[in-house]
Amino acid sequence: MNPLTKQVPNVPKNAVKYLNNHQSEAVDRLQQFLTIQSVSTDPAFSQEVRRGAKWVARELNKIGMEVTVYDTAGHPVVLAKTPNQLLAPGAAEAPHVLFYGHYDVQPPDPIDLWTTPPFLPEVRDGAIYARGASDDKGQVCCFLEALRAWTQNNGKLPVPVTVLIEGEEECGSVNLQPFIKKHKENLAADIVVISDTSMWDDQTVTITYGLRGLLYFDVQLHGPSRDLHSGVYGGVLANPATMITRIIGKLFDSENRITIPGFYDDVATLSDQEAAQWEALDFDEHKDCLGPIGVDTPFGEEGYSTLQRRWARPSCDINGIYGGYMGEGAKTVIPSFAGAKVSFRLALNQNANKIAKAFEGWLHLHDTGGCEWKITNHGAADPVGVSSDSPFVAAAQRAIKQSSGKAAVLAKEGATIPVVADFKNVLGLDSLLIGFGLNSDCIHSPDEHFALDRFNLGCRTHALLLSELAKGG
């Protein structure tokens, strides 16, 4: 047991009380953060992304952390360390927490589908609406507010904390891996804590013990040197828009399996035991997954349930497709090029670089009619599984029980946090993935939002997690 909590047992309670009493100030700070248009994937927003980094650095400074903003080949990384004077007696010996989050956000398009502008946050019906409200600015603020509550309350933290907030999560964290390698010693810790995932339902917190990997490509097929009249040229040459559908359309077979040779070779087989655990979870695919998004029909790889498809199986999606005339009405053009955003979610044991090579090879297997590929790899992240049975998970379970009044659910997630694999591979660290989002938060969609009671729950959970980790992490 940590000497701090032995000596001052009411400190965590006071931190929680502080959070409850100062919630409106926390919401104000989050609203300020959400006005920053830190869209990392679009170069037009690069100054706003930098403003995002500066905002985080300033808040960490206010809390008393020692902050450095590092430039990278892409967007800045904010790194903050606990100075000795911020550590409670005995805290230096407690497990060192590395908190990771991201201050960048997805593009707000399609903007006209937002009820209120994506970067003018508005609180309505008990939730804050803005791009990044849930993913991940709101969740980053949960941790920042927990740190603030401890330091405001006691002037000290119960564990050493390093905070790493990056600006490229939404574009593949391309420059973070080299950063982690370079700053390996500076990032030494015992456990990573991340809040960028979802709750099981609005009352039940999930500890996520597995994430899929991600591979994202922009593939363009280039043909004639200019757009052409489809009457004059229709039928005499390869139309890039036609050819890309003919080729990309072959990515799946009739059982909805991905046709790239070797694609499934390394996928980890789901054990009967784990399958049974998932089967026992309170999950109805219609009520809890498809119904709320207006879908009647589950659809995917044959032979698997919806949860298995999401957590244990890889997937491939066309995230965007473009070329030729995309406006109202008709234009009889043969476009000089067409493109598609093609991404893969990778299941446990798949290797992102290996699949990337296989996909590029597969593209070149097909007759393009003389058109040429222009292939851009927008980032690769390996899938990751973390231990679901460790003292850190036990500490998290205790904190969650106290903050929410309910036991946590242990589950996997279909999404990707690219850096989790790097923490494992480079730093040798497991990650505690404790998120406060919901699938209905519309992350990556118009009207993204984050309920204020979940924001407060996140703040309280992190405040309690710090003391639970201090106790027995």
The smaller minimum CB distance to a copy of itself, of residues 85 and 297, is found at: 297
- CA–CA distances in Å: residue 17 to residues 107, 152, 378, 403, 468: 36, 11, 44, 12, 17
The smaller minimum CB distance to a copy of itself, of residues 128 and 338, is found at: 338
**Please, which residues bridge with residue 207 across strands?**
410, 434
Task: Find out whether 135 and 105 touch, Cβ atoms under 8 Å.
Answer: yes
Q: How far is the CB of 427 from a copy of itself (least distance, A)?
A: 23
Of how many residues is the chain composed?
473
Quote the DSSP letter at residue 173. Answer: -
| Residue in 379, 369, 317, 338 with CA at minimum distance from that of residue 220 | 338
The smaller minimum CB distance to a copy of itself, of residues 96 and 345, is found at: 345
The smaller minimum CB distance to a copy of itself, of residues 23 and 245, is found at: 245
The smaller minimum CB distance to a copy of itself, of residues 338 and 393, is found at: 338
The smaller minimum CB distance to a copy of itself, of residues 58 and 250, is found at: 250
Q: How far is the CB of 337 from a copy of itself (least distance, A)?
A: 11
Q: How far is the CB of 363 from a copy of itself (least distance, A)?
A: 13
The smaller minimum CB distance to a copy of itself, of residues 335 and 473, is found at: 335
The smaller minimum CB distance to a copy of itself, of residues 157 and 307, is found at: 307
Separation of alpha carbons 414 and 344, rounded Å: 11
Helix (H) or strand (E) holding 161: strand 161-166
Separation of alpha carbons 304 and 289, rounded Å: 15
**Please, which residues bridge with residue 449 across strands?**
129
The smaller minimum CB distance to a copy of itself, of residues 38 and 106, is found at: 106
Q: How far is the CB of 111 from a copy of itself (least distance, A)?
A: 12
Task: Find out whether 406 and 204 touch, Cβ atoms under 8 Å.
Answer: yes
Q: How far is the CB of 42 from a copy of itself (least distance, A)?
A: 5
| Residue in 382, 331, 97 with CA at minimum distance from that of residue 215 | 382
- CA–CA distances in Å: residue 118 to residues 99, 130, 132, 439: 27, 5, 9, 18
SS3 124: strand
Task: Find out whether 169 and 408 touch, Cβ atoms under 8 Å.
Answer: no
Separation of alpha carbons 114 and 446, rounded Å: 5
The smaller minimum CB distance to a copy of itself, of residues 17 and 444, is found at: 444
Helix (H) or strand (E) holding 49: helix 46-63
Q: How far is the CB of 25 from a copy of itself (least distance, A)?
A: 30
Which distant-in-sequence residues (6+ apart) come within 8 Å of 384 by Cβ?
Answer: 210, 211, 213, 348, 420, 421, 424, 431
Q: How far is the CB of 165 from a copy of itself (least distance, A)?
A: 20
Separation of alpha carbons 234 and 246, rounded Å: 16
Q: How far is the CB of 231 from a copy of itself (least distance, A)?
A: 3
Side-by-side strand order, sheet with 372-381: 337-346, 213-222, 372-381
Q: How far is the CB of 181 from a copy of itself (least distance, A)?
A: 23
Q: How far is the CB of 142 from a copy of itself (least distance, A)?
A: 19
